[in-house]
Amino acid sequence: MERKYKHKGYSERDRDDKKRERPAEPKPRQEQMGPRTPRMVGTVMRARCSNCGTILAPGFDKNGQCPKCQLELHSCKQCVHFDTGAQFECTQPIPERIPRKDAKNNCTFFEFRMTVEKDTSPVNYPSVSTSAAPAPTGRPDDARKAFEDLFKK
């Protein structure tokens, strides 16, 4: 009998041939002692400059300036209570509006804004030391040195 359609897999006979071609090997079952734990990225609390986004090193001076853009860190833009939709652009009961939000002020309600971020890559904080020698990072500077260090006696 001549087939009307000559496409592969059209007739029942072709489908049966494909089933026979598969190996009948069972897949190895993985041993599990409970539910799988997801591989989630950790989180970290970070302080960032609200103007340029630079990550500020832990223990930075809150009364100082941003190391990159020189914005005052003790200003309304850096505060947790800064809200453009609130009265005087602050969620706390301040007596009068502070006109420049990026200028240094002496507000008693000031708390630096810290954000929770995913820790996706290592951050190298700029060193504040005055010595000319670079701070040891714990990592070799280049791949060749790291490779050679593996085989030292």
pTM comes to 0.51
CA distance 142 to 144: 6
Stronger pLDDT, 142 or 21, i.e. the higher one: 142
pLDDT digits (tens, 9 = 90+) for 73-126: 888 888 999 988 888 888 998 888 888 888 888 888 888 888 888 877 665 555
Structure confidence at residue 9 as a pLDDT band (50, 70, 90):
low
* Domain ranges (residues) in the chain: 42-117
pLDDT digits (tens, 9 = 90+) for 38-58: 777 788 888 888 888 888 888
Q: Positive or negative, the Cα torsion across 101, 106, 112, 113? A: negative
Stronger pLDDT, 135 or 92, i.e. the higher one: 92
Q: What is the mean pLDDT of the chain?
A: 75
pLDDT of residue 106: 87
CA distance 142 to 18: 53
CA distance 40 to 22: 37
pLDDT of residue 133: 46
Structure confidence at residue 137 as a pLDDT band (50, 70, 90):
low
